[in-house]
Structure 1
Amino acid sequence: MTDRDTVFVGSIPKFYDTLMVPLIFEAYAADLAELAAASAPRSVLETAAGSGVVARSLAPRLGADTRYVVTDLNQPMLDYAASRQGPDSRIEWRQADALALPFDDASFDVVCCQFGAMFFPDRVAGYGEARRVLREGGRFVFNVWDRIEENAFADDITNALATVFEHDPPRFLARTPHGYHDVALIREELSRTGYSDIRIETREKTSSSTSAREVATAYCLGTPLRNEIEARDADLLQLAMDRATDAIVKRYGKGPVAGKIQAHVIVAAG
């Protein structure tokens, strides 16, 4: 992971939420919200909340007296998430580092994290912090993407961009979002931080869009992949999007497109 992998600024949060979220995140957010709410928790902490897709799905499932703290390291993303959520006195929005949480021990019944663990500079530290703030019997609910080859559009776009930047292809998608998919490693790192009950389920879903161009725009403008492209040559951003579009059209056609996505969904308890 590079420093640019965690930079969600400028127009990226808006493109991320309006294009990437419905493309690949909403279905898994519903899964995560269902798992987080299953135990009727009185207090929930969300880390790496991004643009708030889980919050929008989870908040309606929580009790009237539930405390729900939504955090992210990136303030622009957190601000955008708060702006998308209706007024709700149960929710506290707070900038926080998942590796150094500003909360007391045993403060929450559930900690949840949607596709954030891959961005942790030290996952063991992040898992340890989640466990520290969980009450006895609490659960850590999170998900991570499977390998890029199991996620069609991400793989297609990564390969297409390699034809634009042959000597230094942008590898953000393979390196970070899809770079932490080894189930044995996930289980081992959770065990190392004291979790004893670890359940991991691999779930396949379908990613759909109205057009190949919309998919290319989502990935190239709505993720830190944009930072990688512009760092190489900002003048080639349009060409990169064109190549990504062409690759998806070639595989899926010119009309509405649909491709496989796959992720690991994890529930861990101490």
Structure 2
Amino acid sequence: MLEADKVFAGSVPENYDRYMVPLIFDFYANDIAQQAASFSPKAVLEIAAGTGVVTRALAPKLAADAAYVVTDLNPAMLDYAASRQPPDSRIQWKQADAMALPFDDAAFDLACCQFGAMFFPDRTSGYREVKRVLKPGGRFLFNVWDRIEENVFAQDVLDALGEIFPDDPPRFITRTPHGYFDTGLIRSQLEEAGFSDVAIETKAEQSRAPLARIVATAFCQGTPIRNEIEARGGNLEAITDRVAATIAERRGSGEISAKMQAHVIKANA
């Protein structure tokens, strides 16, 4: 992962929440929120909260006396998440690096992370930090995307950008979001960090959009792909149009849908 892969600034948070969240994140956010709530946690840590899609799904399911600390490395994303959340005295918003969590040992009984572990520069060390702040027997619940070939819209965008920039195609999608899909590796790194009872479930779902242009805008303007396009001197709107045209050729000009797939992981501290 490159440092630029962590830059979600400018209009990216708003476009991420407006386009990416309904396109690919809502289903898995609701799934992780339901599973998290089933443990009846009283002290919850969310890592890499992004624009707060899990927070919005999980907070209503928590007990009235629960404490919920929501963190992200990127202040712009965290600020946007806080702006979208109804007032809730149980929630504390805190900028935090997952590699050096600013919390006491054994402070939480549940930690959750939606599509954030792929951004950890050292996953085993990151998992050790999560285990450190969990109480003995606490739960760690997170998800990661499966390989790009199992996520059709992402593959479409990758292919289109490869045609537009044949000499230097943007690689953010495969390098980071879809670069950490080996379940054997994930299990071994969690166990090396001290977790036990690791359970991994692969879940497939349909990603839907009213138009191909929505998919293209989501990826090209709501993720660090935007940084890659602009770094190559590309006109953002023109490139988005070209990506949309490729998707429309493959999937249709009206409402479209395609497979997406992720791994959902549970482990005990």
The two structures have a TM-score, normalised by structure 1, of: 0.98
Residue 87 of structure 1 is matched in structure 2 by: 87
Residues in 1 aligned to 2:229 and 2:257: alpha-carbon distance in whole angstroms: 25
State the secondary structure of the residue aligned to 1:162.
Answer: helix
Q: What is the CA-CA distance between 1:159 and the residue it aligns to?
A: 0.6
Gaps of 5+ in 2: none
Residue 220 of structure 2 is matched in structure 1 by: 220
Residue 109 of structure 2 is matched in structure 1 by: 109
Q: What is the CA-CA distance between 1:243 and the residue it aligns to?
A: 2.2
State the secondary structure of the residue aligned to 1:136.
Answer: strand
State the secondary structure of the residue aligned to 2:69.
Answer: strand
Residues in 1 aligned to 2:167 and 2:100: alpha-carbon distance in whole angstroms: 38
Residues in 2 aligned to 1:227 and 1:216: alpha-carbon distance in whole angstroms: 15
Contact in 2 for aligned 1:164/1:239 (Cα 8 Å): no
For 2:243, the aligned partner's letter is A
Residue 267 of structure 1 is matched in structure 2 by: 266
Q: What is the CA-CA distance between 1:240 and the residue it aligns to?
A: 2.0
Residue 153 of structure 1 is matched in structure 2 by: 153
Residues in 2 aligned to 1:2 and 1:98: alpha-carbon distance in whole angstroms: 16
Residues in 2 aligned to 1:220 and 1:234: alpha-carbon distance in whole angstroms: 11
Aligned length: 269
State the secondary structure of the residue aligned to 1:94.
Answer: strand
State the secondary structure of the residue aligned to 1:261.
Answer: strand
Q: What is the CA-CA distance between 1:36 and the residue it aligns to?
A: 1.0
Alignment of 1:160-171 (within 5 A): 160-171=160-171
State the secondary structure of the residue aligned to 1:76.
Answer: helix
Q: Deviations over 1:54-107 (max 9, x none)?
A: 000000000000000000010000000000000000000000011100101100
Q: What is the CA-CA distance between 1:138 and the residue it aligns to?
A: 0.6
For 1:59, the aligned partner's letter is A
Q: What is the CA-CA distance between 1:129 and the residue it aligns to?
A: 0.6
Q: What is the CA-CA distance between 1:242 and the residue it aligns to?
A: 2.0
RMSD between aligned residues? 0.7
Residue 60 of structure 2 is matched in structure 1 by: 60
- Percent of aligned pairs with the same amino acid: 61
Residue 128 of structure 1 is matched in structure 2 by: 128
Residues in 1 aligned to 2:229 and 2:43: alpha-carbon distance in whole angstroms: 41
Contact in 2 for aligned 1:16/1:223 (Cα 8 Å): yes
Q: What is the CA-CA distance between 1:208 and the residue it aligns to?
A: 0.3
Contact in 2 for aligned 1:8/1:224 (Cα 8 Å): yes
State the secondary structure of the residue aligned to 1:112.
Answer: strand
State the secondary structure of the residue aligned to 1:49.
Answer: coil
Q: What is the CA-CA distance between 1:249 and the residue it aligns to?
A: 0.7
Mapped pair 1:202 → 2:202 = yes
Residues in 2 aligned to 1:184 and 1:2: alpha-carbon distance in whole angstroms: 24
Residue 185 of structure 1 is matched in structure 2 by: 185
Q: What is the CA-CA distance between 1:111 and the residue it aligns to?
A: 0.3
Residue 243 of structure 1 is matched in structure 2 by: 242
Could you list the structure 1 runs, at least 4 aligned residues long, displaced by more than 3 angstroms after superposition: none
Mapped pair 1:27 → 2:58 = no
State the secondary structure of the residue aligned to 2:202.
Answer: strand
Alignment of 1:65-84 (within 5 A): 65-84=65-84
